Amino acid sequence: MKKRFINNSLLVILDTFLNLAMNFVIIILIAKYVEVELLGQYQLYITVIGLSAILANFGINVIINREIAKNPNKVNLYISNVLTIRFFISLPLLFIISTLVFYISGFSNIYLFFLVLVLNFLLSISSIFGGVFNSLHKNSYQLKMNLIYKTFSLMCAFLFLTLGSNLYMVISSFIIVSIISNLYAWIVLHNLYSSLSFRYDKRFIKKIILTSLPLVFASFTEFLSLKVDTYMIGIMIDEKSVGYYSVSYNLFLGATLIPLAVTKVFFPNFIDMYSKDKNQANKFILKIGFLFTVYAFWVGAVFYFLNYQIMDIFYDVEKFFPSIDVIKYLSFALIFIVLNRLYNYALLALKYNNYYFRISLITAIINILLNISLIPKYGINGAVYATIISEFVLMILSIGKFYVK
């Protein structure tokens, strides 16, 4: 049992790290070969459709994963009904919500928008399969499925972009690869559970949706807090400015890969340790927090003092010259981001779910108000300042709650 837990934990960490790392590389590739405005549109539409998808998907993944972990013999019942929800309820809702936001926001590239929408939907199906594999302790299948998608997506992006193809061809290839990885997951699950199929149980579907709804708002506020700056830049300045901002933010997220992987390891260990010895658990989180602080200080210093050189390594520095100041000032937010993830995981482990929702909502509102006031005066740097302040507030609220229970 312990060996399986360790193996599955390592597979989850590896999967998370590879997923984030490959996303990081793919954005660098796209930024190298695509116009800044088109890159900005791509990142902006990912944000808008991502927010719409959280509402359209009802937050059912968490509930389903939990229920399958408790009742593995009901896999067919849960998966068949969840897939029915996703195809026949969530997809139409995603289309309606996203399209309304598209036209209300005055966006222009409808073709790119719908390509991103289709890709988002297919990846939401992948997240269902991945969660089921995780709940069934079949993490190796989850890793294989994600490796199929990320590896071939990276290969397609490199091949098409270096041969002179456009972003539309690249995203179309992502869609095809996603379909293949989903078919692989379906075949694996069908081999494990031969009776797997689409199923419509009206009462059961209603129960799943109603049970999951409270999680929607928590997920939405968390995602909004992280991504609202991208949307605000898009509607308050222009899509080209989103492109400048996104390449720096991609480097910033790349700097969080190691702390995030460590946090994934920390989470189960902290739960186990806290149940046995609270003082030992508190010492453990202090030690991890100190290491994260040291890491953030040195990496942040590199970003601040060597911002031009870093941009020159990963991007065309002349093409993305306005991005240099963004990565420079984002360095101040690094320590807040990594500590927030650590202590937020700890709060969730201690079942402070409602408190986490409240502080996420507070932070999102602060972030929106700061963006509205700072972007007109400071441009894309205003979004950076808003991120720094809101993440600092979230850190104070998270750490304060943890130590003043």
Query: 145 and 204 in contact (C-beta within 8 Å)?
Result: no
What tokens were used for 323?
Answer: 């991005």
Residue 1 CA to residue 63 CA, distance in Å, equals 24
270 vs 125, residue with greater confidence: 125
Query: 136 and 75 in contact (C-beta within 8 Å)?
Result: yes
The pTM score is 0.86
Residue 405 burial (CB count, 10 A): 8
Render 165-228 in DSSP notation, one character per residue.
--HHHHHHHHHHHHHHHHHHHHHHHHHH-TT------HHHHHHHHHHHHHHHHHHHHHHHHHHH
Identify residue 317 by its one-letter amino acid code. V
pLDDT tens-digit series, residues 228-264? 899 999 999 999 999 999 999 988 888 888 887 777 6
pLDDT at 6 over 60: no
What tokens were used for 212?
Answer: 């999951």
pLDDT at 385 over 60: yes
- The chain-wide mean pLDDT, for the chain, equals 86
Query: 212 and 63 in contact (C-beta within 8 Å)?
Result: yes
Query: Per-residue confidence at 266, pLDDT binned at 50, 70, 90?
Result: low
Mean pLDDT along residues 131-154: 84
Residue 132 CA to residue 63 CA, distance in Å, equals 11
Judged on CB neighbours under 10 Å (0-12, 13-18, 19+), 376 is exposed
DSSP 73: G
Render 347-373 in DSSP notation, one character per residue.
HHHTT-HHHHHHHHHHHHHHHHHHHHH
The pLDDT score that the predictor gives to residue 1 is 46
186 vs 139, residue with greater confidence: 186
pLDDT tens-digit series, residues 309-363? 999 999 988 999 999 999 999 999 999 999 998 888 888 777 787 788 888 889 9
Residue 138 CA to residue 274 CA, distance in Å, equals 27
393 vs 210, residue with greater confidence: 393
Identify residue 172 by its one-letter amino acid code. S
